[in-house]
Structure 1
Amino acid sequence: MDRLTDHLIVISFDCLSSLDLRIIKEMPNFQELLKIGSYCPNVKTIYPSVTYPCHATIVTGNFPSRHGVVSNTKLQPGNPSPDWHWHRHHIKGTTLYDEAKKARLTTAALLWPVTAKAEIDYNMPEIFANRPWHHQIAVSLWNGSTSFQLEMNRRFGHIRNGLFQPQLDDFVLEAAVETIQRKKPNLMLIHFTDLDSHRHYHGFSSEQAHEALKRHDDRLGRIIKALREAGIYDHSTIIALGDHSALDESKAIKPNVLLKEEGLINVNAQGKITDWRAYCKSCDGSAYIYVKDRDDQVTYKKVKALLDKLKVDEKNGIEEVLNGKEAGERGADGTCAFMIEASLGFYITEGLQGEYLDVITSEEVKAGKYTFASHGYSPEKPDYDTILIASGKGIKEGAIVPSMHLTDEGPTFARLLGLHLGDTDGSPVRGLLSL
């Protein structure tokens, strides 16, 4: 299969929404891409619509039920900071960067989720120190390209301020510009989280979120400039995309509080879990309910009765209850006992203490206990789509694809690079491609 482009630059602006399109159309660098490229204003995301499953879908073309990354974090009941699905081995099957590597194309990834220990030439994986004895730089170096990361940290490490935004994305940007100019990769995956962070802590339509969009436009401009300075702009394709949208919330619900009251979660005097029969695994706007022993019908029926009772009263914040089979049919983890969807204005946590329902205050958000906006909700929620903009070699000029699915992105990118991801849930979007 012939390649349609020599250099594919995929830029994920985490939490970029279809509702942002009217705003970024007025920003100079997004405007430049839109003027000479094509776009889809309504990209339907996956379920659950959280970052790690979304990014695994983007590079595989498959739903979470198939690629295996069914939530951001692992099921670790009682762990106040569960480990994330950081590593490549969490993804079942092949990926866009695996196929590029097989084709002897040069690959680079900057803070792209689920790439720790991946076979990527220039890899700075998204992973953080999650143990008291871990050091962030050492963890990153161990799980990515050591010499490449050392060089990026030597040059630009002074920009970073831990995981805080916008400094983290500013660091990623400088590393991306340097990599484009010096390495000229055939495939480059870049993940920016500035917008997502500010929506979480200030709200979807906050001034802070708007300022993050402006910074993203500047970052996009710097990447376009780097491609020109490297002499590869005319041989490159730029993809700007989002992974999910977000919704404001004012109330947090804690199903584990009720599961504990029902005797399905046991805790010690310090409030730590010692054993469990059923557990609520949060995906923010949705959540899995797992039954430890899948043959335990007594616990299953007890949990079902509890959820059915909660759903009756809209004040409890549960819009829908799915069983495991139904969750799997929607692309989520079919091994769960149940999957619950939060109503508008609510989101779900794994908290064990206090009451089932908490009203979110500014003080709690500042303390990092809660957020003002979340994702993870069903893709069927209104005004919840994301977008994709494509420009450059191999892309039609001026085409508008009315709608597509997140699973279609990987196969489309593979076609641009003359690659094939095999039998995928999504398909190449021919309406974007020049051939």
Structure 2
Amino acid sequence: MTRLTDHLIVISFDCLSALDFSMLEELPNFQELLYKGSYCKHVETIYPSVTYPCHATIVTGKYPNHHGVINNTFLQPGNPSPDWYWHRFHIKGTTLYDEAKKAGMKTAALLWPVTAKANIDYNMPEIFANRPWLNQIAVSLANGSVFYQIDMNNRFGHIRKGISQPELDDFVLESAVHTIETKKPNLMLVHFTDLDTQRHYHGFSSEEAQAALKRHDIRLGRILHALKDAGIYENSTIVALGDHSALDESKAVKVNVLLKEQGLINVNEKGKVTDWKAYCKSCDGSAYIYLHNPNDKETKSRVGELLQRLQEDEHNGIEFVLTGDEAGKRGADEKAAFMIEARRGFYFHERLEGEFIDSITKEDVEERRYTVASHGYSPKKANYETVLIASGKGIREKVNIPSMHLVDEGPTFAKLLGLDLGDTDGRIIKEMFDV
């Protein structure tokens, strides 16, 4: 296949929304991309619209139920900190970085989700030390490129303060700049989460979120400058994109409280789940309802009736209820018995104690019990789209793509590098190519 660029730099600004576009137009480095490139300010995301499924979709061109990453975290009933879909082996089929590696290209990924133990030349995966006895640096080293990560930590580790923002993104930035200047990768995937963090804990339109957008513009500028310093800017394509938007919320809906009251979840005196028949697995703005025994028709009927009753009263926060088959048709996990969508102002939480619905207080947010904005909602919700801006080699100037879907990004990026992702759910956005 014809290759349109020598270097593809994909920068994911987590939680970048279509509603941010007017601000991006005023920021100097985003302006530079927009002036020279193609863009779409109406990118429909996937369902559920959470980070790990979104990033797996970006590199595969497939919906969650086709690539296998159907949520951020695993179904682990009662676990207050469930494990995430960190590892490459959770993705079914090939990825953009797999195909680039097969083609002999040099690859790099910095905190890109679902890349632990991936075959990437310079890999700093996003993975947490999710057990008290684990060390963060040791976990990262075991799941990525050992010597590369040691080098980055030796050079820039002093910047980071655990996973606190904006320091984490500042560390990622310095690592990205150094990698561009010294390694000149053909494919680089970079994931920044500053904006997402600020929106979760301060609100969608908060001053903190606006400040994060300005920091992201500075980060983008540093990356553009690094490409120029490395002498590869003219032969590079730069893509800035978001994975999902976010919505403010003031109430947390805890369906598991009701399932426990119905005797469908049992806990011991310490509050630990001992057995369960049905469980609500949160995706924040949406949630899966799983059955321990998928063939348990009695429990499925009971849960279905409960959800329908709850939906009838808007104060319960449930906008609609899908069957597993209906969820599958939207790209979500068809193995769930049901999937529920939260109304605006609500989101789902897995907690088992307390009231069915909690009003979120300032103290809740400070203690990290709840957030005040989240994602995971249906991509069909109004004003919930994300954006994509592409500029550089192989990209036409000043082209406005009216609309596209997150599944279109993978095959489009593959085409830029002369690669093929095979059978995808998306299409190649040829309108942006300068051929």
Give the alignment's TM-score, normalised by structure 2: 1.00
**Distance of 2:80 and 2:378 partners within structure 1:** 25
**Distance of 2:295 and 2:140 partners within structure 1:** 40
**Distance of 2:381 and 2:80 partners within structure 1:** 29
The alpha carbon displacement at 1:368 in A equals 0.2
Could you say which residue in structure 2 is the equivalent of 1:258?
258
**Distance of 1:215 and 1:80 partners within structure 2:** 32
| 1:214-262 deviation line (CA, Å, top 9, x unaligned) | 0000000000000000000000000000000000000000000000000
| 1:279-303 deviation line (CA, Å, top 9, x unaligned) | 0000000000001101100100010
Could you say which residue in structure 2 is the equivalent of 1:106?
106
Could you say which residue in structure 1 is the equivalent of 2:221?
221
Could you say which residue in structure 2 is the equivalent of 1:140?
140
Could you say which residue in structure 2 is the equivalent of 1:319?
319
**Letter matched to residue 282 of structure 2:** S
**Distance of 2:77 and 2:144 partners within structure 1:** 28
Is residue 434 from structure 1 mapped to residue 434 from structure 2 by the alignment?
A: yes
**Distance of 1:186 and 1:124 partners within structure 2:** 16
| 1:138-179 deviation line (CA, Å, top 9, x unaligned) | 000000000000000000000000000000000000000000
**Letter matched to residue 277 of structure 1:** K
Query: The residue matched to 1:310 in structure 2 has which SS?
Result: helix
Q: Equivalent residues in 2 for 1:9-408 (5 A)? A: 9-408=9-408
**Letter matched to residue 43 of structure 1:** V
**Distance of 2:432 and 2:250 partners within structure 1:** 39
**Distance of 2:121 and 2:25 partners within structure 1:** 34
| 1:386-422 deviation line (CA, Å, top 9, x unaligned) | 0000000000001000100000000000000000000
**Letter matched to residue 218 of structure 1:** I
**Letter matched to residue 82 of structure 2:** P
Could you say which residue in structure 2 is the equivalent of 1:416?
416
The alpha carbon displacement at 1:432 in A equals 1.1
The alpha carbon displacement at 1:271 in A equals 1.0
What stretches of structure 1 move > 3 A for 4+ residues in a row? none
The alpha carbon displacement at 1:2 in A equals 1.4
Query: The residue matched to 2:123 in structure 1 has which SS?
Result: strand
Query: The residue matched to 1:84 in structure 2 has which SS?
Result: coil
**Distance of 1:39 and 1:194 partners within structure 2:** 22
**Distance of 2:383 and 2:134 partners within structure 1:** 40
For the aligned residue pairs, the C-alpha RMSD in angstroms reads: 0.3
Unpaired stretches in structure 2, ≥5 consecutive residues: none
**Letter matched to residue 134 of structure 2:** H
**Distance of 1:371 and 1:76 partners within structure 2:** 21
Unpaired stretches in structure 1, ≥5 consecutive residues: none
The alpha carbon displacement at 1:433 in A equals 1.0
Give the paired residue count.
435
Query: The residue matched to 2:326 in structure 1 has which SS?
Result: helix
Query: The residue matched to 2:321 in structure 1 has which SS?
Result: strand
Query: The residue matched to 1:248 in structure 2 has which SS?
Result: strand
**Distance of 1:387 and 1:414 partners within structure 2:** 19
**Distance of 2:434 and 2:385 partners within structure 1:** 25
**Distance of 1:192 and 1:432 partners within structure 2:** 24
| 1:104-158 deviation line (CA, Å, top 9, x unaligned) | 0000000000000000000000001001110000000000000000000000000
Query: The residue matched to 1:391 in structure 2 has which SS?
Result: strand
The alpha carbon displacement at 1:434 in A equals 1.1
| 1:312-370 deviation line (CA, Å, top 9, x unaligned) | 10000000000000000000000000000000000000010001000001110000000
**Distance of 1:206 and 1:318 partners within structure 2:** 26
**Letter matched to residue 13 of structure 1:** F
**Letter matched to residue 192 of structure 1:** F
**Distance of 1:13 and 1:106 partners within structure 2:** 23
**Letter matched to residue 252 of structure 2:** A
**Distance of 2:153 and 2:3 partners within structure 1:** 33
**Letter matched to residue 347 of structure 2:** Y
Query: The residue matched to 2:93 in structure 1 has which SS?
Result: coil
**Distance of 1:100 and 1:44 partners within structure 2:** 26
Query: The residue matched to 1:19 in structure 2 has which SS?
Result: helix
**Letter matched to residue 284 of structure 1:** D
Query: The residue matched to 1:336 in structure 2 has which SS?
Result: coil
